[in-house]
Amino acid sequence: MGETTEIAWCNSTFNPWHGCQRVSPGCQNCYAEAFSKRIGLKIWGAEAPRRFFGESHWEEPRKWNAAAEKVGERRRVFCSSMADVFENRYDLDEQRARLWALIDATPWLDWLLLTKRPENMKLMVPRRWAENAWPFNVWAGTTAEDQKRYDERWPWLANVPAIVRFVSIEPQLERIELRCNGCGHDTSAHLAPDQGGCSAWFPNWVITGGESGHGARPYLTAWARDLLVQCKGTPIKCFVKQMGAHCIDGVGESASRLRLKDAKGGDWSEWPEALRVRQFPKARP
Query: Which helix H or strand E contains 110, and what residues bound it?
Result: strand 109-115
* In a shared domain, residues 96 and 213: no
Give 164-220 as a DSSP string: EEEEEE-S--S----B-TTT--BTTT---GGGT-----S-SEEEEE---STTPPPEE
| Domain membership flag for residue 123 | yes
What average pLDDT does range 193-216 have in this prediction?
A: 92
* In a shared domain, residues 223 and 93: no
| Domain membership flag for residue 277 | yes
Q: For residue 207, list its beta bridge partners.
A: 168, 239
* In a shared domain, residues 188 and 261: yes
Contact 92, 124 (CB under 8 A): no
| Domain membership flag for residue 167 | no
pLDDT reading at 165 higher than 80? yes
| Domain membership flag for residue 160 | no
Residue 125 CA to residue 134 CA, distance in Å, equals: 9
What average pLDDT does range 4-31 have in this prediction?
A: 95
| Domain membership flag for residue 37 | yes
Return the C-alpha torsion angle 18, 30, 282, 186, nearest 10. Answer: -140
**Of 143, 171, 192, which marks where a domain is finished?**
143
* In a shared domain, residues 105 and 213: no
Quote the distance between the C-alpha of residue 146 and its chain's center. 14
* In a shared domain, residues 4 and 81: yes
**Of 143, 168, 191, which marks where a domain is finished?**
143
**Whole domain around residue 23: which residue ranges?**
1-143
* Tens-place pLDDT, residues 75-131: 999 999 999 999 999 999 999 999 999 999 999 999 999 999 999 999 999 999 988
**Of 124, 143, 162, which marks where a domain is finished?**
143
* In a shared domain, residues 5 and 139: yes
- Answer with the residue of higher pLDDT: 230 or 250: 230
* In a shared domain, residues 2 and 138: yes
* In a shared domain, residues 225 and 139: no
Count structural domains, the chain. 2
Give the pLDDT score at 252.
Answer: 81
Q: For residue 168, list its beta bridge partners.
A: 143, 207
* In a shared domain, residues 128 and 200: no
Tell me whether strands 256-257 and 247-249 are parallel, antiparallel or unpaired: antiparallel
What is the layout of strands, in order, in the sheet containing 256-257?
219-220, 247-249, 256-257
Work out the percent of the chain whose per-residue pLDDT is above 90: 89
* In a shared domain, residues 186 and 231: yes
What is the layout of strands, in order, in the sheet containing 138-143?
12-13, 75-79, 109-115, 138-143, 164-169, 205-209, 237-242
Phi, psi (deg, nearest 5) at residue 123? -80, -25
Quote the distance between the C-alpha of residue 94 and its chain's center. 24
Please name which of 187, 166, 150 lies closest in space to residue 113, comparing C-alpha atoms.
Answer: 166
Amino acid at 282: K
| Domain membership flag for residue 29 | yes
| Domain membership flag for residue 162 | no
Contact 67, 4 (CB under 8 A): no
pTM: 0.96
* Tens-place pLDDT, residues 123-132: 999 999 988 7
CA angle 230, 233, 235 (to 5 degrees): 90
* In a shared domain, residues 54 and 102: yes
| Domain membership flag for residue 129 | yes
Give the pLDDT score at 31.
Answer: 92
Query: Which helix H or strand E contains 241, and what residues bound it?
Result: strand 237-242
* In a shared domain, residues 188 and 246: yes
Can you tell me whether residue 8 is helix, strand or coil? Answer: coil
